[in-house]
Amino acid sequence: MPGFKGVVGQVLRPPLRDRRFWVIQFVILVLVMGHLLLDLHKSWLPAGVPDYPTVGLFLLPVIYAALRFGIGGACASAAWGTLLMMPDLFVVDSRTDLWSDGTLLVLICLVAVAVGQRVERETIARERADLAIRAHTAAEARFRALFEASSAPTLVTDKSGALREANPAAKALFGARLGRRQLADLVGEGVARRLLAQTPPKLLPVVLPDGAGRVLHPLSTLVTDSGDDPLLQIILQDVTEDEERQRQTQSFALQVVHVQEQERRRIGQDIHDEPLQTLIYLSRRLEAISDDEAVLATHREAVASIRQILVSVVVQLRQLADGLRPPLLDDLGLVASLRQLVADFSGRSETKGSLRVSGHELDLGWDRKTDIYRIVQEALRNVERHAGASHVDVHLSFAKRTVRVKVQDDGCGFLVDTTVPGLGLRGMSERATLAKGRLEVNSVLGQGTTVRLTMSVAVPPGPSDGASPSIPGGRGGSRTPDPGPAAGPGRLAQ
């Protein structure tokens, strides 16, 4: 509804350029002239008939002007008629006729305003409705064009799953003659129920009429038809190429990780078999020389100093070889290697660690054992570097077909949502993903961090289930022999 200023503006802007408006004004002029003649020649009227009803005839052109041009045309016509009646009112009419004709003119002007205002409201409402219809029609045309031209197969069904529409891509996917088939006939009962509930599966494998397989990503959206009846629009995005690229990427990454572990073990084995053994041999020879009474005291001190350096190098090389591939992981399994890992962590840092194991240890295979060990190793490394914790607890839980690991510390914590993950966290997450596992990191400032790993073991075993895999160029799986007598200053640990 227009405001007061809008009404005034319409009143002050009559449709002067419309010929029909001027025809109405001419009709009013004729009526006024006729009324004036009757006032001047009352003898023309039959006896007892007053002349003021002719004023009421002005109402007809005024109402027509209101219906045709709104309040602007009605008010202009009423004002024109009133202006033409002024000479008759104040010059010709008697006192009685003045009141009767004046009252009729006032009523005509009021009717003109009322009818014109009502017509104006209806006109504006009709224009708005027409504008909405045109916008809806244009939007529907755009949607129809997109629907028909979309390369993604698109289906429209009702709430019961009955097919209403299908674009050309959907017809090419499911067959040209879809008709009034049910959604369940196309994608199966289970998938249809999930689509109708708007909880579609992430991926939907289908077989084309030519026998080729495709992978689709379904999206379901609730829409309405022209009668406001709820409909479901299902878009099936073809992600076959994306899934194949992702599968190839994961396969390549998995091979890289596997080769890295193989190479680590080979390097560790090479260090163990050649440099480490040679250094141990030299250490024992120096020890024998230092114990020879024929060697001078000054030479004995130099030999002892050199041997102490060799002992330090042997220890460092042993730690390096064990870090590349812990021998306990291959010889005694996951639990023993994690227990040794936690013990070493507690020995070298100010944070005390503990390991809890629940359930019976499963035969995980070489790959799974390595993945779990590396993730726990990186989690403990992050605690050592960043957490500032006093205690960290590692809980290893074996279920029937699942292994769960929780590493929880009481350190400073961090904001998971706003902190950019470093290489350690990204590496843990990627390794868990490649192993078909799930990694969760939860942290609260001032309360510590918890890393949870869940991994399925319902997979074929790796290269071996208890022993280490064969390594190209390797030299067996023997442990480093005892380098010398009992520990002491300048001696190797047993």
- Domains present along the chain, CATH in parentheses: 4-141 (no CATH), 150-238 (3.30.450.20), 328-467 (3.30.565.10)
DSSP string, 204-230: EEEE-TTS-EEEEEEEEEEEE-TT--E
> Of 42-56, 325-339, 472-486, which has the strongest mean pLDDT?
325-339
- pLDDT band, residue 465 (cuts 50/70/90): very low
| CA quadruple 158, 163, 164, 165: dihedral sign | positive
pLDDT tier, 473 (very low <50, low <70, confident <90, very high otherwise): very low
Query: What's the one-letter identity of residue 253?
Result: A
Q: Say what the pLDDT of residue 198 is.
A: 76
- State yes or no: pLDDT of 406 exceeds 60: yes
- Rg from Cα positions in the chain: 48
Edge-to-edge order in the sheet of strand 352-358 = 352-358, 391-398, 402-409, 448-456, 437-444
**163-166 and 154-157 as β-strands: parallel, antiparallel, unpaired?**
antiparallel
Mean local confidence (pLDDT), 371-377? 86
Average pLDDT on 356-372 reads 82
CB 157 within 8 A of CB 104: no
Distance separating alpha carbons of residues 171 and 186, to the nearest angstrom? 11
The residue ranking higher by pLDDT, 420 or 386, is 386
Q: Between residues 434 and 455, which one has the greater pLDDT?
A: 455
Tell whether the torsion through CA atoms of 338, 342, 343 and 345 is positive or negative: positive
Strands ordered across the beta sheet of 230-238? 163-166, 154-157, 230-238, 213-224, 204-207
Give the up-direction half-sphere exposure of residue 427: CA atoms within 13 A in the CB hemisphere: 16
Comparison of pLDDT for 27 and 51, the residue scoring more = 27
Q: 380 CB contacts (<8 Å, ≥6 apart)? A: 341, 342, 345, 353, 392, 394, 407
Q: Is pLDDT at 96 greater than 60 in this prediction?
A: no
pLDDT given for residue 70 in this prediction: 77
Of 115-119, 303-307, 330-334, 480-484, the poorest mean pLDDT is in 480-484
Percentage, residues of the chain above pLDDT 70: 69
- What DSSP string runs through 374-420? HHHHHHHHHIIIII--SEEEEEEEE-SSEEEEEEEE-S----TTTSP
Lowest mean pLDDT among 47-61, 202-216, 408-422: 47-61
Assign 2 a pLDDT band (cuts: 50, 70, 90): low
Across 18-41, b (16+ Cβ under 10 Å) vs e yields eeebeebbebbeebbeebbebbee
Model pLDDT, residue 493: 35
- The yes-or-no verdict on residue 7 having pLDDT over 60 is no
What's the pLDDT at 202?
A: 80
* DSSP symbol at 182: B
Instruction: State residue 99's pLDDT score.
Output: 66
Q: Looking at residue 395, what is its pLDDT?
A: 92
Model confidence band, residue 55 (pLDDT cutoffs 50, 70, 90): low
Please report how the helices 95-149 and 59-87 are oriented relative to each other, as an axis angle in degrees rounded to 10.
140
Give me the long-range contacts of 40-47 (CB less than 8 A, separation at least 24). 40/92
Mean per-residue pLDDT for 312-326?
Answer: 69
Structure tokens at 350: 């100010």
User: Rounded to whole angstroms, how far apart are CA atoms 484 and 310?
Assistant: 12
pLDDT bin (cut points 50, 70, 90) of residue 129 is confident
Look at residue 370 in the predicted model and tell me its pLDDT. Answer: 82
Most confident of 62-76, 251-265, 352-366, 392-406: 392-406
H or E segment to which residue 355 belongs: strand 352-358
**Helix (H) or strand (E) segment spanning residue 456:** strand 448-456
Asked whether the beta carbons of 97 and 52 are under 8 A apart, the reply is: yes
pTM passes above 0.75:
no
Q: How would you label 167-200 residue by residue, b for 16+ Cβ within 10 Å and e otherwise?
A: bebbeebbeeebeebebeebbeeebbebbbeeeb
Q: Which residues contact 75 (CB under 8 A, 6 or more apart)?
A: 11, 14, 109, 112, 113, 116
Can you tell me the mean pLDDT for 197-209? Answer: 75
Q: Residue 366: pLDDT above 50?
A: yes
Q: What is the pLDDT of residues 74-93, one digit of tens each?
A: 888 888 877 777 776 665 55
Maximum Cα interatomic distance, the chain, rounded to a whole number of Å: 171
**8 A C-beta contact, residue 234 and residue 152:** no
Q: Please give the pLDDT value at position 94.
A: 54
Question: CA-CA distance, 363 to 373, in Å (whole number)?
Answer: 14
pLDDT score at 216:
80
The pLDDT of residue 401 is above 50 = yes
| Cα atoms found within 13 Å of the Cα of residue 226, Cβ hemisphere only | 5
Instruction: Answer with the residue of higher pLDDT: 319 or 165.
Output: 165
pLDDT in tens, 270-293: 666 667 677 776 777 777 776 666
Closest CA to 73 of 5, 15, 12: 15
Select the more confidently predicted residue: 472 or 80. Answer: 80
Question: For the residues 346-351, what does the mean pLDDT come to?
Answer: 84
pLDDT, residue 483, reads 43
Please give the mean pLDDT across all residues of the chain.
Answer: 73
Instruction: Take residue 409 and report the two structure tokens written for it.
Output: 């510390």
Between 6 and 382, residue with greater pLDDT: 382
34 or 334, which is more confident: 334
Question: Contact at 8 Å (CB) between 303 and 290?
Answer: yes
Cα–Cα distance for residue pair 206/240, rounded to 1 Å: 10
The span from the CA of 23 to the CA of 64, in Å, is 11
Percent of the chain at pLDDT > 90 equals 0
Measured distance between the N- and C-terminal CA atoms of the chain, rounded to whole angstroms: 98
